Amino acid sequence: MRKIHHHFSRIAHSYRDLRTTDLEPILFIQKKLQRKSKIIAANVGCGAGRYDLKLFRHLGNKLFLYCIDANEEMLKHLKDFLDKHEIRDFNTIKANAEKIPLADNSLDCVLTFNALHHFKPLDFLKESSRILEDNGYLFIYTRLRSQNRRNIWGRYFPLFNEKETRLYELNELRNLLTEIPQLEIESIEYFKYSRLASLHWLVNQAQYHHYSTFYLYTPKELEQSLEKFKQNIQKDFEDLERITWFDENLLLVIRKTNRC
């Protein structure tokens, strides 16, 4: 965990440029919350603010957002980023996902985007249940291990599936939720995205660890895997400027009930 923390501190300044930000889950959340006149929410594992900006743009001035992350460098870049876009209705909180310094029953919703695999999930779910008001929403946007195996990295980048052991399958997430009777899955939304990139861009993403998975490689492993990755791509794609694949994610829509 210390190594991953160092990794995020090192890439905080360029993180938004390295990662793809998906609009579709934001649009779903916007529709789900459209009847609310005011939304007090927390984005846990917010990083440098790429999803926070989209939340403000699509939920408008009815949103107040706590931006929570364990990494101080990420929060500094988030604050600068949102300030640049003249967004004021937020607070940054340096905290772990398993111990959030907010009051019981104080939030309309908790959100997390592509960060669950960095948390202790059961503790995060318990903490989310504590800070949510009754009938509040927990939105978890993530990818499953099986989805990860089908993307460009899982299919072509050596050791990627072996290194990435932090993701979950749906049955594992369901089992975790049975430990917290107050949290019930309302729906599961699946997303599939057509991606397009050049080999040069993909190599750049791996070299700069756009997924923290790449930080789990030793320098020699990463160098060797990169060379093999290039060979694998060149074998299957004629146009190295137009490499196509699908990324898959899901959104767990979870509601807090007053069940004990």
- Does some domain include residue 226? no
Task: Note the pTM of the prediction, 2 decimals.
Answer: 0.91
Give the residue, 193 or 7, on which the prediction is more confident. Answer: 193
Q: Which domain covers residue 57, as residue numbers?
A: 2-147+165-193+247-256
Per-residue pLDDT, averaged over 22-49, amounts to 96
Question: How many domains does the chain divide into?
Answer: 1
Collapsing DSSP states into helix, strand and coil, what is residue 197?
strand
For residues 78-88, give the mean pLDDT: 95
Does the structure show a pLDDT above 70 at 18? Answer: no
The pLDDT tens digits for 148-188 are 999 999 999 999 999 999 999 999 999 999 999 999 999 99
CATH label of the domain that carries residue 121: 3.40.50.150
User: Is the confidence at residue 116, as pLDDT, over 80?
Assistant: yes
CA dist 102 → 44, 111, 233 (Å): 12, 14, 47
Give Cβ neighbours of residue 133 (< 8 Å, ≥ 6 apart).
105, 106, 107, 108, 256
CA torsion sign for 162, 96, 143, 5 is negative
pLDDT in tens, 204-246: 989 887 788 998 999 999 999 999 999 999 999 999 999 999 9
Q: If you average pLDDT over residues 252-256, what whole number do you get?
A: 98
Please name the amino acid found at residue 183: L
Report the mean per-residue pLDDT for the chain.
Answer: 92
The answer to the question of residue 224 being in a domain is no
pLDDT value, residue 215: 86
Report the distance separating Cα 210 and Cα 196, nearest Å. Answer: 16
The pLDDT value recorded for residue 258 is: 81
Query: What's phi and psi for 198, nearest 5 deg?
Result: -90, 160
Could you tell me if residue 82 is inside a domain? yes
* Whole-angstrom distance, CA of residue 144 vs CA of residue 147: 5
- pLDDT of 224 reads 98
* 3-class secondary-structure state, position 137: strand
Residue 235 lies in a domain: no
* Domain annotation covers residue 215: no
- The tokens for 56 are 């403000």
pLDDT of residue 12: 40
Residue type, 226: L
Q: Find where tokens 């939340």 sit.
A: 55
For residue 79, what is the enclosing H or E element? helix 72-84
**Is 153 part of any domain?**
no
Asked, for residue 73, whether it belongs to a domain, the answer is: yes
In a domain, 26, yes or no: yes
